[in-house]
Structure 1
Amino acid sequence: MADDRGVFPGQWALSGGGVESGERIEEALRREIREELGEQLLLTEITPWTFSDDIRTKTYADGRKEEIYMIYLIFDCVSANREVKINEEFQDYAWVKPEDLVHYDLNVATRKTLRLKGLL
């Protein structure tokens, strides 16, 4: 679950983030996973899947808000394990069975992605 800041405060979200200058997309994905979910989670497969875009309001730690344009590059990822250690951007995490997803307050982007995958 996302912290009370960022683009989807207080809602359940898939891990994600930005691409830094000079960084390739897969490098950015692996870095964001390491930063948000810890060094122990090992991705064994990364397959590009789809993309979408949106305009969202981002809330910063100081309470400031900004409208931002987002491009979602969405990948199918397979991990060798489930060892997760979340960072300060999240309050909690969960491994969820598809049939249980309806019980979570998912942000709009996560809901859209899971619908496209046939999981909602």
Structure 2
Amino acid sequence: MSNHPSDGSIRRVRDERGTSSVPPNVPEGVPERRELRVGAKAFVTDRDRVLLVKERREDGSTFWTLPGGGVESGESFAECLRRELDEEIRCRATVGERVGRCVYRHTSRPATTVYSVFDATLGSEPEPNPTERVLDHAWLEPADLLPTTLDPVERFIHQSVAGTDGDR
């Protein structure tokens, strides 16, 4: 594989937070209790391209995101990311340093996940695992992200390209 952490074509972002949005199933003015989750995402690059995976929600709708998922009890971020990459795209990975963060407010359930994003290098080409609801993968240039890319992921990638740093 020719991908490797921080190959210089995409600049790192220290932090990114999405704007909050109320899920459609919560009436306006009603306080919502949300579960706070912690997760890890992989920022895998190859030249000017970023690896995204297409996932399926329980309702059947699909979206594109960085590979990764939730940290389990007693698991480090690196352990989580290696496990998630093995499960989702059947790849062993080397996890590098943390390069940013994105916050995702789920719309399908009352939860918010704070994802730490890490440089990662894959040991093989991704093979999506449908049993993990991962249907496809794509190596995309930041200007060519697909319309169903999650907003916080899209903002993270665009800020990486623009070279902006700092807390938002």
More contact order relative to length (CA 8 Å, sep ≥ 6): 2
Confirm or deny: 8 A CA contact 2:89 2:128 kept in the other structure: yes
Q: Which has the higher strand share?
A: 2
**1:95 deviation in Å?**
2.9
**Any unmatched runs of 5+ in structure 2?**
1-53, 163-168
- Give 3-state SS (helix, strand or coil) of 1:21's partner: coil
Structure 1 outlier segments of 4+, above 4 Å? none
Q: Which has the larger radius of gyration?
A: 2
- Distance in 2 (alpha carbons) for counterparts of 1:31 and 1:107: 22
CA-based RMSD of the aligned residues comes to 2.4
Residue of structure 2 in register with 1:24 after alignment:
76
Spell out the pairing of 1:1-120 with structure 2 (5 A cutoff).
1-5=54-58, 9-38=61-90, 41-58=91-108, 66-90=109-133, 92-98=135-141, 101-118=144-161
Q: Identity over aligned residues, as a percent?
A: 21
- Distance in 2 (alpha carbons) for counterparts of 1:67 and 1:91: 22
**1:42 deviation in Å?**
2.6
**Any unmatched runs of 5+ in structure 1?**
59-65
Count of residue pairs brought into register by the alignment? 108
TM-score (normalizing by structure 2): 0.55
- Distance in 2 (alpha carbons) for counterparts of 1:97 and 1:45: 20
